[in-house]
Structure 1
Amino acid sequence: SFYGFRNGTYHLKSFLIGSGIISKTVPMDTISFYVTEENDAKNTDTNETSNFEIIYTILSRSKTTKGSNVFLTLDAKDHVGIEKIDALVENSNGETQVILLSMTTGKSTYGTWRGMISADEPDTTYSVRSITMMNFEGIEKEIIVDSRSFYVEADPKSGVEGLNVSGERNRSSGITGFNILDAIKEPFFPTKVGFIMMAIIGGFFMIPMVANIDGRARKGKIPDDYQDEYGPFAEILRSKKTRKKR
């Protein structure tokens, strides 16, 4: 907690983290707060030099997931009184959105405002580009914002494009992949696999047999009764022997 401050803006420069044995100083340059008193005659909230000032801006998350909401919070002041605040947000795809902030605490001359950013695109960075304030006199001012961004993590389902195990349509590529689960569920799937395996194994056994028959045919060792010994290969061997005699 902080106490004993006079009116004005204060910036948090660093904080100390310690476990009793080891300690470390962590620098901090993005956190500010403003001290004011309602009964102070010199209250800077009503000072005419306080025109459209933003004390601090902060995002509720630096990393999130698709469909989550991230909140932008800021403190702002103006001697006339702020009527409206909105923020321009741009993502890494070049898409922009304007969010409207609402005052949660304080008053129009100095208060805390909050708005919600929708994170709809995975593997995308969203950045707050600017904040526009309008006071009760209708005067507006745009303030450029730096270093206020968050990242939406990539959707793990979008990493598979050709082979889609789940059978869901790949939104990123627009292609429906081969559905393994549906193929396995087919009633004749085991039979099909069995026939394929038998064909492959049979092919391995037939190769040396054909090679042996062909070798014997070249040496003229084919008997007259082709059909009894060689079955379906009889016509092939008979034609080879005939060509050899010619």
Structure 2
Amino acid sequence: MNALALIAEDDAEVAGILEAYLIREGLRTVRATDGLTAIEHHDRLKPDIVLLDVKMPRADGYQVLATIRQRGETPVIMVTALDEDLDKLQALRIGADDYVVKPFNPLEVVARVKAVLRRAHGQKLPTTIRVGQLEVDEISHVAFVNVAERGRVRLDLTLTEFRILSHMARAPSRVFSRAELIDACFPESDALERTVDSHASNLRRKFDAAGATGFFAGVRGVGYRLTELP
């Protein structure tokens, strides 16, 4: 099972950016918009790592961190606009594993998440994602479908098609908007939403040609879903 990251952040835009980049790197995510909900999620879901804002309603990040530390050693990275040395020292004194100041580079946050997970648990982030007939190897950048009549068939994908497939495979039954796919898979591009439609059409055609139907269903007015899981 992929590592689960709890994002405790009351700013929806910041939380969305963190979630998109963590999912892109193979983690599962859950959000909390206030401190008490973060504590409840930590108790119930047992996340592998927590990304924790300081200024939150109902209970601030320091209170959440103290509660988490009373319960155990779940890794915690503070993600906050407070950049004074005293704020950092307080977080580290209570037991934070790392401290990131806003505005941040999402790629740096992901790198720190991976480093903290490795240090804490020897956590190996997944390299192969399996969804029904589909296998996506993120190290080799190849994807296969297992078809009864033909066996294991490799999909001939462009780099962009692979990025889209890999991103969606982490949450295969979720509906992704075109804008989400652009942000996650074309982060430095000026791609238009109709570009996503073109790539989705090509991917669907390649799955069909391999004998694996039912992938890349369009959801009218929203975007695309990789597959309906049973």
Give the shorter-chain TM-score range: under 0.3
Q: Which has the larger radius of gyration?
A: 1
Higher relative contact order, chain-length normalized (CA < 8 Å, sep 6+): 2
Specify which structure has the higher proportion of helix.
2
With normalisation by structure 2, the TM-score equals 0.22
